[in-house]
Amino acid sequence: MSFMKFALKNLFAHKTRTILTLGSMVVAVAVLFTLVSFNRGYEKALKTQLQGMGIHMMVVPVGCPYEAASLILKGGKIPNHLPMSVLDDVRKIPEIDIAAPSFMSGIVRPEEGRTDIYVGIDSATLRLKNWWKLEGSFPQNPDEVVIGDNVSLIELSGIGDQIYLPEKDATFNIVGKLGPTGTEDDGFFYIPIETAQRLFDQPDKLTAISIRLKNPDDAPVVTARLATVKGAEVITMGELLGTMMTLMGAAKSLLLSIVMIIIVISALGVLNTVLMSVFERTREIGVMRATGAAQSHIFGLVWLETLLLSLLGGAGGLVLAIAGSRVIENVVKRFLPLAPKGSVVALEPGSFLLVLGFVVGIAVVAGFYPALRAARAKPIEALRSE
């Protein structure tokens, strides 16, 4: 009989207790692995998305939230706007290749549980977002609209159809449709910027100016020059990413605290199970010693049992996490407005190693004391125990 087989038999001598402890380990590992994978995947996806935009910086009104779409989606209004004159100042800077103005506002549709976001743009946006796959044409007239891919699915509309806005008593002809971009662009209505300003009673106002530089290395120079523009604030994409990650940081800290609690609880659970098992088997440990087991054998056996318990729990947790990662991803993305499109859960080898470290760490910490206690049992006293 091998040491391993003996350890497994000991472990499952009390099936219910062992299974319950395994259950807590499975949940702890699944949560830890999902969180680590989500954290890595989210950062990666966000970075990729921002870098893919080809936008090096944005000019926004002072005090304006970076993520205007998120605010509008929740029914809020953007407090400040840039005057159109800022666009002229921006376009005078020679290092700037493209400066695309936009005006964004929304129409809340409570009965349908959504907010339609209208984005006023000009042809500069089309040059800036050169990855857009536009079917049809760009709006040339005030009553023309281009719709994002998700909008066409929701509205069940396509090129040639009309959209009527009863709130504004306006009708738009759909002249173009964007192919799926995998970004929030898929959910917007694009109309000429002047139309948008008029529609929402904000003439000569802008929400933001997206900028592409001729050379990204000129960002500090351009930022310095834009800093002199009154009422405007410059955000580079690096800052935007950093800010988003900071915003995420608070939520991440909370989640990590929860995970730490789970780790402590599962470690105590394993400790309790193994310690109880040692107490109950005092006489058996005496028999082992009487049949020639050295202290190191007993220590090794109890520690092996702990390691097996933790590894089984770890394996179960990983299976659960991988199986449930898509579900968790959907839930997370639903509640996080900043979530980028595509997969935000990255199942990486590094995460596996981290979880493996956690599992072995639990076994090492939780198994040490029971193993030591068992090994120190004196054969005679152990045999006499009830």
Partner 1 sequence: MDRDQETKGSRDRVSDLSLGTREPLRCSTGAAEANPAVVARGLTRVYRRGAETIRALKGIDLDIQCGEFVGVVGHSGAGKTTFLNLAGLMDRPTEGRLTVLGHDVGKRGAGFDALRRKNIGFVFQEFYLMPTLTAVENVLLPTMWGRGNGEGRMSNVELKGSKHRAEELLNLVGLGQRMTHKPSELSGGEMQRVAVARALVNSPRLLLADEPTGNLDTLTRDGIFNLLLALNRDSGLTVIVATHDLSLESRFTRVIRLEDGEVKNG
Which residues in this chain contact partner 1 in the complex, by CB under 8 A? 1-3, 6, 9-10, 13, 283-284, 286-295, 297, 379-380, 383
**Pairwise CA distance, residues 5 & 128, whole Å:** 65
Closest approach of Cβ 272 to partner 1, in Å? 20
**Cα–Cα distances in Å, from 1 out to 9, 235, 366?**
11, 68, 26
- Asked whether 183 and 49 are in contact (CB, 8 A), the reply is yes
> 159 or 383: whose CB is closer to partner 1?
383
Closest approach of Cβ 242 to partner 1, in Å? 55
> 65 or 379: whose CB is closer to partner 1?
379
> 12 or 131: whose CB is closer to partner 1?
12
Backbone angles phi, psi at 63, to 5 degrees: 85, 0
**Pairwise CA distance, residues 208 & 66, whole Å:** 9
| Residue 83 burial (C-beta neighbours within 10 Å; 0-12, 13-18, 19+) | middle
Closest approach of Cβ 283 to partner 1, in Å? 7
Backbone angles phi, psi at 354, to 5 degrees: -60, -45
| Largest pairwise CA distance in the chain | 98
> 54 or 379: whose CB is closer to partner 1?
379
Closest approach of Cβ 19 to partner 1, in Å? 16
> 251 or 290: whose CB is closer to partner 1?
290
Closest approach of Cβ 376 to partner 1, in Å? 14
Find the radius of gyration of the CA atoms of the chain: 30
- Vertex 324 angle, CA 323 and 327, to 5°: 135
> 205 or 289: whose CB is closer to partner 1?
289
Closest approach of Cβ 362 to partner 1, in Å? 24
> 208 or 293: whose CB is closer to partner 1?
293
CA 148 to chain centroid, in Å, comes to 23
Closest approach of Cβ 14 to partner 1, in Å? 10
**Pairwise CA distance, residues 23 & 31, whole Å:** 12
**Pairwise CA distance, residues 33 & 211, whole Å:** 38
